[in-house]
Amino acid sequence: MTTIVYNAIRTPDGTVLESTHRHDYKVYMDKNGKEYMVDGGLDYLRRNVHDDAPYEELSVNADQDHLTIREVLKWGTYGKNGDQPKRLIIIKDMSTEHIQACLDTILSIHPIWEKAFNDELKLRGVV
């Protein structure tokens, strides 16, 4: 079983529904009159199905290529001094310095993020 790094669908009217954490149940009434749902965050994928109006699966797993992962994997930050509201940044939008600081200072970084950060630095020609 592979690790989920992004859990989302696109409804027929183009709306993206993303579940970011376990039991993050998101529901949306599409313009076609059908209700769409995502749930499970990075722990599991849960959907509802409409055979006559299917959604587009957007989820990404950790075993996919880095160019795909870097577009969706998000890192939570409280700012450089830790005094700002939490915000999520897609890895491709993080500065090289921020990525390196995470690798240098977070001793228990999850292997998924460690690999993604190292792959991003390689892509940028830093390592």
- Please tell me the distance from the alpha carbon of residue 9 to that of residue 28, in angstroms, as a whole number: 11
Within 13 Å, how many C-alpha atoms sit on residue 71's CB side? 10
Return the closest-CA partner of residue 94 out of 81, 106, 76, 107: 76
Centroid of chain to Cα 85: 19
Give me the pLDDT at residue 10, please.
Answer: 97
- Please tell me the distance from the alpha carbon of residue 24 to that of residue 38, in angstroms, as a whole number: 8
Tell me: the pLDDT tens digits for 102-116? Answer: 999 999 999 999 999
Handedness of CA 48, 54, 60, 64 (dihedral sign): positive
Q: Is the model's pTM score more than 0.85?
A: yes
- Please tell me the distance from the alpha carbon of residue 4 to that of residue 74, in angstroms, as a whole number: 12
Tell me: the pLDDT tens digits for 46-104? Answer: 999 899 999 999 999 999 999 999 999 999 999 888 899 999 999 999 999 999 999 99
- Where do the domains of the chain lie? 4-61, 66-123
